[in-house]
Amino acid sequence: MSVKVKVLVVDDSAAERTHIVQLLQGRGYDVVEAATAFEALGVAGRERPDVVVLDVVLGELDGRGVCRMLRLSDMGNDLAIVMLTVKGHVKYRTEGLRVGADDYMPKPFDPDELDARISAAHRARAGRRQLNRQNADLAGRLAETKTRDDLTGVLSRRRFLELLPGEWARATRDRRPLSCALVDVDRFKQFNDRLGDAMGDDVLRRVAELVRGNLRNIDLAARFGGDEFALLLPDTPVAKACGALERLRGRLQADWTTRSFSAAVTLSVGIASSEDETITSPGNLIRAADRALYVAKRDGRDRIAVAEPFRRAKQEYLN
């Protein structure tokens, strides 16, 4: 074996225990031992064996009780447990299996058969552990696909809306401003129709990259619709939000002049802030930013519009 399987042998008979220990050591196992039920629980906790070979008759707490307690411990799902007993009646075998044993062998046993059963129980448990890891990994990837947009890598709309109430509550509690921006890629459908879906995807990915690269760690960015992004800027008054989005638009323009496209990519932005006392909920914040985005597009696109009453704040920044 390249990596030795560790086996804990539990038997209250010193002679029987020594016999099993020497047998398994001779077959390449790393063996530890215990004579009583409570000693077995302590050794298992310290040594973290792969397999436990467990005699049913142990005195104050029998092997079935030990098996049950091991299964309830933090290593319970990782252990393979093979129970041994001179009590060969089917009743004892079924009781052992019901409390969590992987296998059951009567004494006296054949050494080759014990070796084979230990190996089989260990393989079965290792297979289940691998399957559990794969399932956990798959669950993690599935959860990630629900929280991230596949194309751009920013948050999904669903995840953004899940996080928004918590950010709103934090801003309200700390009496700090929370700004929200909705960003729309201007005339994206025409751009997409003229240059193709692949180029349109490239535009969205590049906008998302610039958004991520120009935000702080505490900020949130999401793909809110086909060609629309949502940004949440904690601890950011509206004037600073305008500055951040103006810089983003400038960097996009500079980025696109270095690319050989027949059409420039511009952004329309609508911004709203919790500083507005008429905005009393997260939903109101999103709706106010959406109304401001409508104004930006109505007034000619390629600009920032701020939800009332903050247009003056924007002018102060721009001046």
**What digits encode the pLDDT tens for the residues 244-273?**
999 999 888 887 765 655 567 899 999 999
Domain end marker among 117, 140, 163: 140
pLDDT at 316: 47
Average pLDDT over all residues of the chain: 86
Are 258 and 128 found together in one domain? no
Least confident of 55-59, 95-99, 195-199: 95-99
- C-alpha closest to that of 194 among 98, 261, 117: 261
Question: Which is more confidently placed, 67 or 262?
Answer: 67
Q: How many CB atoms lie within 10 A of CB 27?
A: 17
Structural domain containing residue 71 = 6-140
Give domain status of residue 198, yes or no: yes
Both 48 and 17 in one domain: the answer is: yes
63 and 130 within one domain: yes
- 134/255 same-domain check: no
pLDDT of residue 86: 76
* 35 found inside a domain: yes
Contacts of 195 (CB under 8 A, 6+ apart): 261, 262, 263
Q: Give, in order, the Cα–Cα distances in Å from 109 to each of 67, 113, 114.
A: 20, 7, 7
Is residue 227 annotated as part of the catalytic site, yes or no? yes
First to last CA, the chain: 76
Whether residues 161 and 122 share a domain: the answer is no
CA distance 107 to 105: 7
Q: What confidence category does residue 18 fall into, taking pLDDT thresholds of 50, 70 and 90?
A: very high
- Spot the catalytic one: 74, 227, 276, 290: 227
Would 111 be classed as within a structural domain? yes
pLDDT at 317: 44
The pLDDT score that the predictor gives to residue 27 is: 93
CATH number, domain containing residue 124: 3.40.50.2300
β-pairing, 304-306 with 267-273? parallel
Pairing of strands 220-223, 304-306: unpaired
Query: Strand pairing of 220-223 and 178-185?
Result: unpaired
Q: How many CB atoms lie within 10 A of CB 98?
A: 11
H-helix or E-strand spanning residue 101: none
Query: Which is nearest to 121 in space by CA: 39, 8, 43, 19?
Result: 8
pLDDT at 1: 43
Structural domain includes residue 148: no
Q: Are residues 173 and 215 in the same domain?
A: yes
31 in any annotated domain? yes
The reply to whether 1 falls in a domain is no
Residue 30 sits in the same domain as residue 178: no
Please give the share of the chain, as a percent, with pLDDT higher than 70.
Answer: 89
Given a cut of 70, is residue 2 above it in pLDDT? no
Domain assignment of residue 150, yes or no: no
User: Does residue 146 form part of some domain?
Assistant: no
124: helix, strand or coil: helix
For 167-191, give one letter per residue: b (16+ CB within 10 A) or e: bbeebeeeeebbbbbbbbbbbbeeb
Residues 98 and 215 in one domain: no
Domain of 251, CATH number, reads 3.30.70.270
Q: Is the pLDDT of residue 310 over 70?
A: no
Q: How many domains does one find in the chain?
A: 2
Q: pLDDT value at position 143?
A: 58
pLDDT at 214: 87
Residues present in the chain in total: 319
**pLDDT value at position 313?**
46
Task: Characterize the bridge pairing of strands 178-185 and 304-306.
Answer: unpaired
Task: Determine contact, residues 156/149, Cβ cutoff 8 Å.
Answer: yes
Domain shared by 81 and 105, yes or no: yes
Q: How far is CA 297 from the centre of its chain?
A: 38
Neighbours of 19 (CB within 10 A): 14
Residue that is last in its domain, among 110, 140, 170: 140
Cα–Cα distance measured from residue 302 to residue 296, given in angstroms and rounded to the nearest whole number:
8
For the stretch 147-198, pLDDT in tens is: 889 899 999 999 999 999 999 999 999 999 999 999 999 988 887 778 788 8
pLDDT at 95 over 60: yes
Shared domain for 135 and 175, answered yes or no, is no
- Is residue 71 domain-shared with residue 175, that is, in the same domain? no
Residues 16 and 127 in one domain: yes
- Given 94, 114, 140, the domain boundary residue is 140
> pLDDT (tens digit, 9 = 90+) per residue, 223-238?
998 899 999 999 999 9
Q: Does 318 score more than 70 pLDDT?
A: no
